[in-house]
Structure formats: C-alpha cells, structure tokens
Structure 1
C-alpha cells in the first residue's frame, strides 16, 4: 500500500539499564537535586531545576541534569531532557547517569526510565531511515537501591509510543483498512489477545448507521477493529472504545484549511485503545478487556452524509444530523451500543479527540473526564496520576439533557449549550445505564513543542492511563489464554 517505507511500528525504544558500575568511554550525566545551593562542576553551575541540562567541560562528566524536588514528574522531565540533549550533541550511542548524592527509590527510577523512553521518541518518514542516536541509557545505582519492574515501565512507555506511531502515520497511507491491518499485526504476538476486523458489508448487515454515514464520503470504506483479551480466572470485564477517524475533513461541514493537516491524529483515541489493550495483555493483567475502534474517513463526495439527515445507529436509536464535522460521536454511538449489548461489561470507557470546547476549557495538556459513576471517575483520576497524565473531571449537567432530544429523531447530534458537555450527554444516551467514563483528549493528544516526556506530534495521551486503570481492577495477573 505504501510507496515508501514508514518507520517501524511499533517504534524501537531506547534500552534502559540499572548497573553497579560505569562503562568506560560512554559519556556521563550527573544528577543534581534542587537543595538550596547550586552545584558547580567544570566552571558550570546548576541549581537542580527539573529537566534542565547543562553541558560540562569535565573529563568524567558530560552533563549536569536537574531532578528538582525529586517528584516522579521531575524525574520524567530529567530523563526526557537528558536523552534529547544527548541526541543533539555528540550522538553517543550509550549515555550513563551517575546519581551522585541524589538518592532515588524505585518509583523515581521508573519515572526516569519513562522519561528516557518517551523523551527519545521520534517518528519521521524519510529516505534516510532511522538515523543512529542514543540507544542505551545506563544508570549507576548504589548497592541496595530498589530497582523498579523495568518490564512494566517498558510496556507502559511502549503503549504511549505505539499510540504515537499510529497517530503520526500520514493519512495517505493510514486509511481504515491500514489501521485495522496494523492493529491486527501488532497484537498478533501477544498471548491471549485476539483481533477481529469487521468490514463495511458486516457493518451494513449489523446496522452500524453512524459509522457507515461518516465513512460514506470516502473511497476507503470503514472498518470496526475488535480486540478481545480473556485471561483465565478474570472476574471483571472492561469495555474500551476509541474514536478511529483516520482523517477528518469535516465532511460537507468542511473544516478551515488551516490546521486540517493535523487531522491525521483524529484517531488518537482509537490509537490509545489499541496500544493500551496490547499492553494490558502483554502484562497479563487479570482483567477481561474488550476493545472496539470504529475506523472511518470523513471526506467530501457525492456519498457524504448531510446536515439534516437522520441516521439509525446499531440497536435502532436515531440521530438528527446537524453538523457533519461532529462525526466522532456518530461512530462512537454505534460502537458503544454494540459493545454493551454484545459483551455486557462491568464498566465502559470511551476515548476520543472529540471537541474543540475542551481545548478551550482545559488547554492542551489536560484531558477531560466525564463519568456517570463516581467510583469509576475516581479510578480514572488515580490511574492518570499513576501514569503521569493529567485529567480534570467535568460535570454532566442535567440542565442540558433536554437539548439532546431531537425533533426529527431520538437525539440531536450537536445540541445547543457547552459543546464538550453536550457531546458527553449525547454519548450517555448509548451506554444503557452502565458505569461509563468519556475521555475527551482533543487538547493533549497533540503537541507542537517538547515538554516533559512529550515531543512534537502525537503524544499517545490516555494510553498509559487506560493500562493503569485496568491494573486497578486486576488482581495478581493469571496466565493469559482463552
């Protein structure tokens, strides 16, 4: 399908090691904690500000890197800043970290590793291929230092990186069929995880009117990606649903040209769901997970759906269309109704780059959380804190429920009122009263500059939160298998 090679998907991550001695010949970074007094080395002073890296002209130390007060966020920022500085400098293949007087526990080393793994991420479609850069970061830890579970750290970082890969892929290659085939490929080697791909004929036979309407304007037909992880002995069941719009022109309600190129990442919610489900299975968490990603392109043609149309979703409920650029909720409605009826999960979480309103309300680094259940909301917030992803709970205001009711149909696609809230209220119509959370990641799914462990482009936001959420439901992980 591709006329030129994409970078490898999943991306190759940097190796992170904890060692008890330094390797000769590899440059060294020394950690500086903010402790009230500056550290001076080789004529360079460093106050320990988190994520600040200074070059040092000393024989045994190449960089000073600050870890602030030592919070996990500080250590993630330090790891990311260090690996970026090393990549811009002498392009050493191996970088070593001397903790110096900065004592670090297992959680702090795990955060440092996460920063290294994700701060060194890059995705570029180039004839030059993958240029050599930092391949290994070795941390010199004093004897007795608690070493984190690096396999778990790597799977969490790998989930975010895979979500970035899928979202960054250009849309002249990434149509619904490509996304489905890639999802099927990347989960194929994970024990206990199965992928099923539904095509447009199956979608039509089952009555997925929302997906078919949105995808009707494209020459690339829609798909439904279905992932199933069923470990032995699992007593809890979580349904994950992710928006998979592989490119969004807005349809007949077309978007302005400025910024439309970023719509290759409009499937970031679906990418997070695919990547998180893969990591959940790879970690063999003791929780059943069903995951659905309705994938479609929202294009302009004679087959496009129109404002004023009435669309019948899976299960029969109808929607009055008023803006074809509100396509995400149309495909999610089908997938939510189908997933709940087929799987009867204990809880449901959907993830989507859904509304510009949440970018205005919360900015570009915080995700919006809507939830019908307080306990589920608390779990998501705790999972986000553990993952280092920021969420803010938004209200489901009953004052706007009547606006969701349609005149020509059961519900109205774009009700009047606050856009993020009314979009969530629309989706609530399709969850059949189950504990449900809606994660709107329109803001933090993309970045235009580096910060902490984030690099420009797709961020992979929500993938780690979903893995941590699943872990909060799971007990000791049993052996995966059907």
Structure 2
C-alpha cells in the first residue's frame, strides 16, 4: 500500500521515559555543566571533558571516540540551556540512528538536576527532533525512545510527572507547528475546522462547533465574509469550548486563522508569499492550547475562537475603500486588503465578548510586519489593557520558555483609529503594530484584554535551541501556562 505523502496530524513525538536503571545496550549521553569560572564543573567527567575539548557550553555535543557515548553541555543549567542541550543532543543522536544503530538512547543528567531540569531537557529533545515533510518516501530511522536516568528509584516519580507534563506542552507546540506547516492546497478553512472537530472528538471535555458561511452571514460577520469572499474556499468560524465543573475563571482565546494570504487586491510581493501558509499560526496556537488545556484537565473554563478564511484575489474579493459592518454593528473603512487579520479578529472578538462575557480576552495573531522590525524574530509583542493580565502573560511565557515584550497603547494614537466614512479605519497612520492593536481594542468592550502579535517568532528560517525551520508553534505553550495560572 502506497504511503500518503501528508504527515499525520498531530505529529508523534519521541517517547521520553524516566528510570533509575540504565539500558545495557543503549548509547549514553552525559550532561555536563559549566561553572561560574567558565570551566566544566568538577566531577567524574571533568577529565574526559578536558580530553575532548568540551567546554560545557549549552548545546555543545562531543562524541567520545570509539564509544557510543557523548558529552552534552548545559551551560550554567538554566531552563533555556537544558532545552538547548536536549535539542542539540537529539539532532546528533538522530544522525547516529540514521546510520543504522540503536533507536533508543539514554541520558545521565548532572547531580542535583531537579524535576524541572528533566522536563526542560525532555522538551528540547522532543521539539528539537520535530520534522515536517510532505513525501511518499519512507522516513529515515530516528531516535524513538529517550531514557532519562534518575539518581535512584525514589527520584523517579517526581521526574516522571514533570516529564509527562512537558510532553503535553511539547505536543501543543508540535500541533501548532503541524497546522502552520501544512501546505495551503490542503489547509483551507474547512480542513482546519475538521482537524479542530476531530481533536475535540478525541479529547474528553472539549467540544467543537463549526460555523459555516450561511451562519456567518445571518449573524453579520462582515469582516470574515469580506476577507473570505475572494476565495473558492468559504470561511469558517471554529468554536472550541472546555468547561470543567467548578471553574471560577473564564478565558476567551481568539486566534487569527488566515489559511493563506495573497494580500487580496492589495497583493503581496511574490517573494516570500509562499510563507503565507503560516499566516494562521495564531489560530493554530489557540487550537493547540485549548486541546492541551483540556487534556491536562486544568480547572479553568476556556472558549477558543478561530476565524478561518483565505484571503484571495478574484472578482468577488473585497476592495480598498469598502465599508464593512462587523458582528455587533461597528463599521470599518477598508484601506488595505492585506490588513485582513484584524478584519476577521474584529468579528471574532466582538462575538466572543458579547456572547460569553469572559473574565479576560487574549488574541494571538501574525498581525504586523512592524513587530518584526521592533522586536526581531524571537520575541512576541504583548499589548494589554490590564496590568494584571499582562503580568500573567509574561509570567506564563517565562515558564514556557517564550519571550514577550510589552508594548504601549498610547492615548494620543487612539484617535487615529476613528474613521472618516465609517466608525473606524482599518489601517490608521502611525506605528503599525500599535495602531493595529488599538484597532482591535475597539472590539473588546472594555474587558481585560491582551493582544499577542507573533509575526516575528511564528516562523523560523534556521534552527536554534528547540526551534526548527518552518512554523515554530510559538505562543501555544504560553497560552497553556496562562490558563494553568488561573487554576
């Protein structure tokens, strides 16, 4: 039987186990730390490290000649260094496995490594070894099982629990990567909705409702209908709900779901347009997050909305100069059809706020190139109307290993959002990331709200730490940790 070229979604990650007993036949890696003086911390492996020229730098991997063994550096042992070490090691180990050797490897962490260190190393290994490839060829052999060695049997349960939770969080990131990486000739709004429906069907406590174009027209989702009007693939509103008993807090998560973005009539330059298959990375992060929140059975109610549409060019595409009426009645003066993300988000935010009245709202989107200029490619932009919510997001990002920088929402720019022939204008003058956020704020009805612009870190061109080229899954783990903070 011919193998389908499409990868399975969600991607299967490598298995990570914790045990006190090593496998006699499996290759062994030993993790070494570097002290404050820059030298490898004294211990049983210091002499070998000196022979190999190993410095203990995070992510540095040295093979021991004539032995199936490695030394892996973890720097000073902070969480990011453990993730980088896990990712670097599994990439080297994959190459050894591809050469026909054992598919199981084991790792000995430094004395004193706690459960969190085990979890971070596992996260790096699972995500650093992630691959997405559309091919009918048989996949190359890779590491299938990673055994992390605990100092004794008494230490196994706590480390196993931490690694199990890390596996769930890594799966969230991997799913968000899968959704972003899937080519857009497969991933139209209907496909994305069907994946969300299947995930909900397989996850106790999670329900999915998919709204079609007819329902969107009846309810007045003018932004989604305008953006999706130029495509042969009609828009869908994906609604996922997780409602555990006794939950005191209710979070609304909204993710931009543009399955492909040509820019519409304001067409994008050809160079780089192929990357627009990842323009639904915010929606992918939201789907992955609520799936993981339900799997972890967190004690917080979460509603997730993903307005999914394809922004295309045709005779039915919306135009610069159009006036669009959003859900709830607010009108927007269209100026640039390539600013489509805020159009669909406006509908979803207005609907979610009015329909559910949550305690807090967070939206996630690859919204503006301005944020790439402001913060580069590894830090997400955080805008918030509520200091407590902003602090929660930043703290969640620290736990998840994802960096956020809070941006301002200046009052002197707010008036720029006012429209000339409509209530608001789509692309106000001024700093693009800020004015886009101010536009979205118009649809949040004064609720505590945070806007996460991930245009920079949602994609990567080269590997670093646990990140691989393509969709990165950025923000998925932050959203899970944010929800966990509400329990």
Task: State the TM-score, normalizing by the size of structure 2.
Answer: 0.95
CA distance in 2, matches of 1:280, 1:90: 34
Secondary structure class of the residue paired with 1:137:
strand
Question: Which shows bigger deviation, 47-56 or 438-447?
Answer: 47-56
Q: Confirm or deny: 8 A CA contact 2:97 2:141 kept in the other structure.
A: no
Counterpart CA distance in 2 for 1:168 and 1:311 is 31
Q: How far off is 1:102 after superposition?
A: 3.9
Unpaired stretches in structure 1, ≥5 consecutive residues = 475-482
- 1:51 aligned residue: 59
Instruction: Tell me the SS of whatever aligns to 1:425.
Output: helix
Indicate the residue corresponding to 2:334 in structure 1: 321
**Contact 1:32 1:102 (8 Å CA) reproduced:** no
Over the aligned positions, Cα root-mean-square deviation in angstroms equals: 1.3
Structure 2 stretches lacking a partner, 5+ long: 41-45
Q: What does the per-residue CA deviation read over 1:99-129, in whole Å, with 9 as the maximum and x for residues that have no partner?
A: 2x54300111111111111111101000114
Aligned-partner SS, 2:30: strand
Q: Secondary structure at the match of 2:207?
A: strand
Instruction: Establish whether residue 68 from structure 1 lines up as the match of residue 70 from structure 2.
Output: no
Aligned with 2:288 (options 257, 260, 275): 275
Distance 2:90 2:166 in 1: 17
1:129-278 matched pairs, under 5 angstroms: 129-143=138-152, 144-145=154-155, 146-147=158-159, 148-278=161-291
The Cα of 1:63 is off from its aligned counterpart by 1.2
Could you tell which deviates more after superposition, 133-142 or 359-368?
Answer: 133-142
- Counterpart in 1 of 2:43? none
Distance 2:21 2:401 in 1: 30
Instruction: State the match for 2:88 in structure 1.
Output: 81
TM-score (norm 1): 0.96
**1:379 shift after superposition:** 0.2
In structure 1, the partner of 2:391 is: 378
**1:478 aligned partner:** none
2:410 matches 1:397: yes
The CA deviation at 1:314 is: 0.3
Aligned to 2:53, what secondary structure does the other structure show? strand
User: Over residues 145-204 of structure 1, what are the superposed CA-to-partner deviations in whole Å (9 max), with x where a residue is unaligned?
Assistant: 351433211111110000000000000000000000011112211111000000000000
Distance 1:424 1:167 in 2: 23
Instruction: Name the CA distance, whole Å, in 2 between partners of 1:155 and 1:133.
Output: 21
Q: Aligned equivalents of 1:154 and 1:340: distance in 2?
A: 32
* Separation (CA, whole Å) in 2 of partners of 1:37 and 1:111: 23
CA displacement at 1:275 relative to structure 2: 0.3
Q: Do structure 1's residue 470 and structure 2's residue 479 form an aligned pair? A: no
Q: Which residue of 2 aligns with 1:94?
A: 104
Give the Å deviation of 1:62.
1.8
Q: Which residue of 2 aligns with 1:120?
A: 129
- Which of 257-266 and 33-42 deviates more? 33-42
Cα-to-partner distance string for 1:359-405 (whole Å, 9 max, x where unaligned) = 00000000000000000000000000000000000000111111100
Q: 1:341: how far off?
A: 0.6
Q: How many residues align?
A: 470
Deviations 1:209-267 (A, max 9, x none): 00000000000000000001111111110000000000000000000001000000000
1:29 equivalenced with 2:29 (yes/no):
yes
Cα distance in 1 between the residues matched to 2:311 and 2:133: 25
